[in-house]
């Protein structure tokens, strides 16, 4: 569901460019197999992906207008229900 929210927020014209860039970087970091800390390092290597993506999304949402994020969450729930 949160991926839908990210997509909706990034597509909204009211969302600042910085938030859009951060959301796309978060998506890219989650998808691309390049890690800042290799996954071979126990625990830290696996957790860094989650922490970095979460922080990027949180900063993007904080920088975006609150109404856009709320509307994105509402639309994501409606989309999930209709699927």
Q: What is the pLDDT of residue 83?
A: 72
Q: What is the pLDDT of residue 6?
A: 95
In this structure, are residues 80 and 12 in contact, taking their beta carbons and an 8 Å threshold?
no
The DSSP line for 33-61 is ---SS-TTSTTHHHHHHHHHHHHHHHHHH
Tens-digit pLDDT string for the chain (83 aa): 899 999 999 999 999 999 999 999 999 988 886 766 676 777 777 788 888 899 999 999 999 999 999 999 999 999 888 87
Q: What is the pLDDT of residue 33?
A: 67
Rounded CA gap, 23 and 62, in Å? 12
pTM of the model: 0.83
């Amino acid at each position: 569901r949160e991926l839908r929210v990210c997509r909706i927020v990034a597509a909204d014209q009211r969302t600042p460019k910085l938030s859009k860039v951060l959301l796309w970087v978060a998506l890219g970091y989650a998808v691309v197999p390049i890690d800042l800390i290799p996954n071979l390092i126990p625990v830290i290597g696996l957790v860094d992906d989650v922490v970095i993506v979460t922080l990027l999304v949180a900063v993007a949402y904080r920088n975006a207008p609150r109404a856009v994020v709320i509307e994105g969450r509402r639309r994501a729930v409606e989309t999930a229900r209709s699927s």
